Amino acid sequence: SIVSDRYRTAYHFQPPKNWMNDPNGPMYYNGIYHLFFQHNPNGPQWGDIVWGHSVSTDLVNWIILEPAIEPDTPGDIKGCWSGSATILFGGQLVIMYTGGDVENHQVQNIALPKNRSDLYLREWTKAGNNPVLQPVGPGMNPGEFRDPTTGWIGPDGLWRIAIGAEVNGYSAALLYKSEDFMNWSRVGHPLYSSSASTMWECLDFFAVLPGSNGGLDLSAAIPKGAKHVLKFSVDQCDKYMIGVYDLECDAFVPDIVLDDRRLLPRIDYGNYYASKSFFDSKNRRRIIWGWTNESDSSSDDVAKGWAGIYGIPRTIWLDRDGKQLLQWPVEEIESLRRNEINYQGLELEKGDLYEIKGVDTLQADVEIDFELTSIDDAESFDPSWLLDPQKHCREAGASVHGGIGPFGLVILASSDMEEHTVVHFRVYKSQKEYMVLMCSDIRRSSLRQGLYTPAYGGFFEFDLEKERKISLRTLIDRSAVESFGGGGRVSIIARVYPVAIVDEGRAHMYAFNNGSTTVWVPQLRAWSMMTAQVNVKKG
């Protein structure tokens, strides 16, 4: 149908139809990128979950294969849920995933490639000794024990994995050890735990080197000065802590422990969950995939026949100060760029709205630098805003004048501006630094009723004494808007369903400024994005 096709993304990952949630077991193996995904082959809502399987050589174009794992054994008959792939020595390959067993307990199972010389690794065999891990031990909740991480090797040469669990009502990243990846025993203490929250879903644990965007393989020798990241999915978003992996205690020790978990940094401040990263040995980088759900209703999903996309795969690394993760779309996505337009030396004064013409405004990649002509008018920052950036974005929207900002992009706008999405910045002066607020405000993205349309937002620190330019990159893909602010310090992905896209088949795009301080745009580049071959069935 028209509605289904107009909102269907052109270069974000999704199956040909039906439901998709968490990315599972991403890896690069023998020249091929593999991506598995929680998938309902029978409908556009969660249920009947199997591991869908797609392969690619460039992370842009994908071929869908038969599902890799389906519920057909006592250990996974009630569900084949999330998990990870680990490449062992000698090229051995293992998937560990959570199964719902006959009693509806969550257990961990192993699947192995049937034939490692099949380039696409189409068929997977379940291990005879499944399940390899059961939810046993004092205080364990058998219904909250899932999503094993990729394995890593400890100094004793043994494999380790972490699994999210609820133990005595607190959240734990339980740690397990094994010699052969088949027989596992639980370590007496967790990798990390907290009394603050319920179960952590989709744990991810990896090493990063401050200031270097080269990725690290968790199982290789970790260089001196490296840090570790523990990511967990909770409260509808993906949060992380930076710390060290203390080899002596065999535990993760965060650099900072915040007692209010609303203050924890997020991988993405928009619609993004259950992310999982992997080390790409081809280009020596760490890549992260995350799930972006629909923001329309489930009856809309039935009408569309599909639900769920993934964000563009992103390179993820740690900033020089070792304080926050940075992300940037993998460079391969730039192969879809066509017809560059280039504006130079735009001056945006208070109230200016400058139309950007010459690109496909429904499928575009936009890179823009905003240079502040002065930083004297920055209003002062209130640290309590960090608790709820969305509230701040609601109260200080694009039409509310400020000292510095709001300035940014208005996209997916109808001719009469009744519908529009705004991605914008505001700059504040805090005691020691400048704080930048980035908002992706989708409250007026559509005239349709029944959509989830928040004003997403996140703050980042920025040294404006050193650098006056704040960059914004926004990828527009029909119903997806994915933005990276300050060189990847804050990312926000959102889903929008404007009526104008359907009715007019096009939209308008503008750069704007609504703050007292004039903003200079030394350069704005934008491209139309071609439609990628994402899981299109051939023939």
Size of the site for ligand DQQ (CB under 6 A): 13
Give me the helices (H) in 306-405, please.
Answer: 389-395
Q: Smallest gap, in angstroms, from Cβ of residue 278 to ligand DQQ?
A: 17
d(CA 481, CA 456): 12
User: Which one-letter DSSP state was computed for residue 536?
Assistant: P
Largest pairwise CA distance in the chain: 68
Per CB under 6 A, 202 contacts ligand DQQ: yes
- In the bound state with ligand DQQ, the residue whose beta carbon lies nearer, of 201 and 477, is 201
- In the bound state with ligand DQQ, the residue whose beta carbon lies nearer, of 165 and 475, is 165
Site residues for ligand DQQ, 425-454, by CB under 6 A, read none
**Please, which residues bridge with residue 163 across strands?**
174
Q: Smallest gap, in angstroms, from Cβ of residue 203 to ligand DQQ?
A: 10
Binding mask 225-264 for ligand DQQ (x = CB under 6 A): ----------------------------------------
The three-class DSSP label of residue 54 is: strand
Site for ligand DQQ (CB under 6 A): which residue of 76, 101, 166, 201?
201
Site for ligand DQQ (CB under 6 A): which residue of 22, 101, 294, 296?
22
Closest residue by beta carbon to ligand DQQ: 81
Annotation says 319 is catalytic = no
- In the bound state with ligand DQQ, the residue whose beta carbon lies nearer, of 22 and 296, is 22
Site for ligand DQQ (CB under 6 A): which residue of 69, 216, 274, 393?
274
Q: Closest Cα to residue 377, out of 443, 425, 416, 428?
A: 428
d(CA 491, CA 159): 33
d(CA 392, CA 458): 9
Site residues for ligand DQQ, 398-417, by CB under 6 A, read none
- In the bound state with ligand DQQ, the residue whose beta carbon lies nearer, of 278 and 328, is 278
Q: Smallest gap, in angstroms, from Cβ of residue 201 to ligand DQQ?
A: 4
- In the bound state with ligand DQQ, the residue whose beta carbon lies nearer, of 276 and 426, is 276
**Please, which residues bridge with residue 365 across strands?**
475, 527
Site residues for ligand DQQ, 122-161, by CB under 6 A, read 146-147
Q: Closest Cα to residue 492, out of 308, 327, 283?
A: 327
Reported residue count of the chain is 539
User: Which one-letter DSSP state was computed for residue 376?
Assistant: T
Q: What are phi and psi of 390, to 5 degrees?
A: -65, -40
Site for ligand DQQ (CB under 6 A): which residue of 98, 361, 483, 513?
98
d(CA 378, CA 513): 15
**Please, which residues bridge with residue 366 across strands?**
474, 526
- In the bound state with ligand DQQ, the residue whose beta carbon lies nearer, of 147 and 294, is 147
Which of 5, 22, 72, 463 is labelled catalytic?
22
For the four alpha carbons of 360, 362, 368 and 373, in that order, the dihedral sign comes to positive
- In the bound state with ligand DQQ, the residue whose beta carbon lies nearer, of 81 and 272, is 81
CB crowding 409-418: b at 16 or more within 10 Å, else e: bbbbbbeeee
d(CA 55, CA 52): 11
Site for ligand DQQ (CB under 6 A): which residue of 21, 40, 171, 474?
21
The Cα angle at residue 400 between residues 395 and 406, in degrees rounded to 5: 100
Site for ligand DQQ (CB under 6 A): which residue of 20, 27, 35, 49?
49
Site residues for ligand DQQ, 57-86, by CB under 6 A, read 81-82
Binding mask 348-377 for ligand DQQ (x = CB under 6 A): ------------------------------
- What Rg do the C-alpha atoms of the chain give, in angstroms? 23
- Contacts with ligand DQQ by CB under 6 A lie at 21-22, 38, 49, 81-82, 98, 146-147, 201-202, 273-274
Catalytic residue numbers read 22
